[in-house]
Chains A and B, each alone.
Chain A
Amino acid sequence: GQNIDQPTEMTATEGAIVQINCTYQTSGFNGLFWYQQHAGEAPTFLSYNVLDGLEEKGRFSSFLSRSKGYSYLLLKELQMKDSASYLCAAMDSNYQLIWGAGTKLIIKP
């Protein structure tokens, strides 16, 4: 079956760095997405990886290893506004998204 695993909750300190991991098993693979979702709001797109390696966008970076079925989202210089859920989603061979349950990130001062 198709499956996405990511931690349920993580806690980090303002100004620090946090890495949120995601492992996936899909029928075929057409890329991996990370979305940010604040409580009660819509998910917003953060990153898309389809090739192995690291993609950097300001304070946020995303990494993909297709051979390991593994991705991570790296958040640097954490700010209080980064407190949110981070959703990992893998796209299968039919271009359907398989979603993880999300990782709730709590930032403490």
Chain B
Amino acid sequence: SQTIHQWPATLVQPVGSPLSLECTVEGTSNPNLYWYRQAAGRGLQLLFYSVGIGQISSEVPQNLSASRPQDRQFILSSKKLLLSDSGFYLCAWKRDGFESEKLFFGSGTQLSVL
């Protein structure tokens, strides 16, 4: 069976510090991978998605970047965090080639930038 791991679960960082959130998927190959941010009272905002190693599409220009160094690993990074980067970050995957299939989400990271 497939599983998705996301860490850390919570993170408190000062403004201007770097960020690295990691997500890995097990039990499948060549998944489509996604990073979302969820702000209170707002819908999920797609930040990045990837259809393969080294292939990253950015949906929203911002202070964040993403990388996919391995097939089942997706990393969200920032060099200098802003207050506005606070939120609940979710990694998700779905099977490649099944465009209308459901997403499977990781457990999320609550990021507080102070």
Contacts and interface: CB of A to CB of B under 8 A. Distances in A.
A4 B99 contact: no
Given A50-B100, A95-B99, A95-B100, A101 B105 contact: no
B108 A41 contact: yes
Nearest to A4: B43
Interface in A24-65: 30-31, 33, 40-45, 48, 50
B107 A87 contact: no
A43 B43 contact: no
Interface in B41-66: 41-46
B109 to A, nearest CB: 11
B112 interface: no
A8 B41 CA distance: 8
Instruction: Give the secondary structure class of B's interface.
Output: loop
Interface residues of B, number: 18
A30 B90 CA distance: 23
Contacts, number: 47
B107 A42 contact: yes
B103 A97 contact: yes
Interface residues of A, number: 24
A8 B44 CA distance: 14
A30 B105 CA distance: 20
B90 A43 contact: yes
Contacts of B31: none
Interface of A: 4, 8, 30-31, 33, 40-45, 48, 50, 87, 89, 91, 95-102
Interface of B: 41-46, 88, 90, 99-100, 102-108, 110
